[in-house]
Amino acid sequence: TDLQALLESLQKEKSRQVLLEGQVNGHLQGHLDEIYHLKQNLACTKERIVYLSCERAKEIWSWPQDILCHLTSLLLTLATVLLVLLSGTCACPLLLHLRLHTCTMLLLLGLSTLAWQKWHAISAPEWQAWVPSRWRWFARASRPPPKGP
């Protein structure tokens, strides 16, 4: 009977050991799966950071080019204005001798500068309201089509 009791207790211990081993394996597999997902998330995050840093570097390198384009445009505009002023001065020397003519030239220059700055702020319908139709280069195209056949 002692032998039988020992065998029963040994079988109970063995079954309990198998059960505990299964539970430990389950927990271990859960932790391994979690580690795998964390590694995947880390790799995705690293890839995203590399991509964003490359995009930021592209933006940073494009800024000097944009500034250079704007500076070139500004210099060309200033050169154009200077040439227009110089040619206007050379073409109309009599207008600069009288004060009234000089003030008129400066007023026209100021108005043209203001119009140049506000050119893009004024919408097309507002320009069409102020400019007569015979002055518009597209006036012929804006006429309604002739009636059908």
- Residue with more model confidence, 11 or 147: 11
How would residue 149 be classed by pLDDT, with cut points 50, 70 and 90? very low
Tell me, what's the pLDDT at 56?
A: 92
Pick the range with the lowest mean pLDDT from 38-47, 52-61, 114-123. 114-123
What average pLDDT does the structure give for the chain?
Answer: 82
Average pLDDT over residues 7-13: 93
Decide: 68 and 61 in contact? Cβ < 8 Å: no
| pLDDT per position as a tens digit, 82-138 | 888 878 777 766 655 677 777 887 888 888 888 777 766 666 666 666 666 655 555
How would residue 18 be classed by pLDDT, with cut points 50, 70 and 90? very high
Phi, psi angles (nearest 5°) of residue 78: -65, -40
19, containing H or E segment: helix 2-91
Phi, psi angles (nearest 5°) of residue 145: -70, 155
Decide: 105 and 81 in contact? Cβ < 8 Å: no
The length of the chain, given as a count of residues: 149
Q: Which of 35, 34, 54 is nearest to 46 (CA)?
A: 54
Q: Is the pLDDT of residue 12 over 90?
A: yes
Q: Which of 96, 113, 97, 117 is nearest to 105 (CA)?
A: 96
Segments making up each domain of the chain, as ranges: 1-65, 96-132
How many whole angstroms separate alpha carbon 81 and alpha carbon 83?
5
